[in-house]
Structure 1
Amino acid sequence: MRPATAAKLRANAATIHQLGRQHGLHSFALSTEPGELVATLDADRSYFDITSFETDLSTILGALVEVVPRGPGVDINETEPLNDLRGAA
């Protein structure tokens, strides 16, 4: 499976945010790497939640998605926030 493109991730931002809430992930941003998202993981969640999110979203999009959680010691380049534009005027 090929990595999701930035355009595909942007087009599915609402789905990403909705699914992310179910898995304890929020504040998504695009990374410089294809198919890679940066996100904040809720304190009461684990890497199992990240893996479940990646699997579920990759299945929905038909393209590989990886998540890098923000945190100490994580050096990742974010290119732009992935906003959930539902309800935007």
Structure 2
Amino acid sequence: MRPATATKLRANAATIHQLGLRHGLHAFALSSEPGELVATLDADRSYFDITSFEADLSSILGAVVEVVPRGPGVDVNETEPLNDLRGAA
């Protein structure tokens, strides 16, 4: 599978936010890397939640999605917030 495009991620923002809530992820933004999202991970969650979210969303979109959690020591270029909730898978 190829990485999800920014267009595909924007078009599926509602699905991303809904699925993110189930996995303890929120405040999504697009990264400068193809198929990469930046998100905030709830304090009571772990990297297992991130990998589970990535697998679920990649399956839904038919394209690879990776998540970079915000936090100390994480240097990632956020290009725009993913807050357009009109889209759906």
**TM-score, normalised to structure 2's length?**
0.95
Identity of aligned residues (%): 90
Q: CA RMSD in A?
A: 0.7
Distance in 1 between residues matched to 2:85 and 2:56, nearest whole Å: 21
Q: Which amino acid aligns with 2:11?
A: A
CA contact (8 A) 1:17 1:84 kept: no
**TM-score, normalised to structure 1's length?**
0.95
**Equivalences, count:** 86
The 5 Å alignment of 1:34-53 reads: 34-53=34-53
Q: Deviations over 1:13-57 (max 9, x none)?
A: 000000000000000000000000000000000000000000000
Distance in 2 between residues matched to 1:51 and 1:61, nearest whole Å: 15
Distance in 1 between residues matched to 2:54 and 2:85, nearest whole Å: 21
Residue 81 of structure 1 corresponds to which residue in structure 2? 81
Is 1:64 the counterpart of 2:78? The answer is: no
Q: Which runs of 5+ in 2 are unaligned?
A: none
Poorly superposed stretches of 4+, deviation over 6 Å? none
CA contact (8 A) 1:32 1:79 kept: yes
Q: Which amino acid aligns with 2:85?
A: L
Distance in 1 between residues matched to 2:23 and 2:37, nearest whole Å: 14
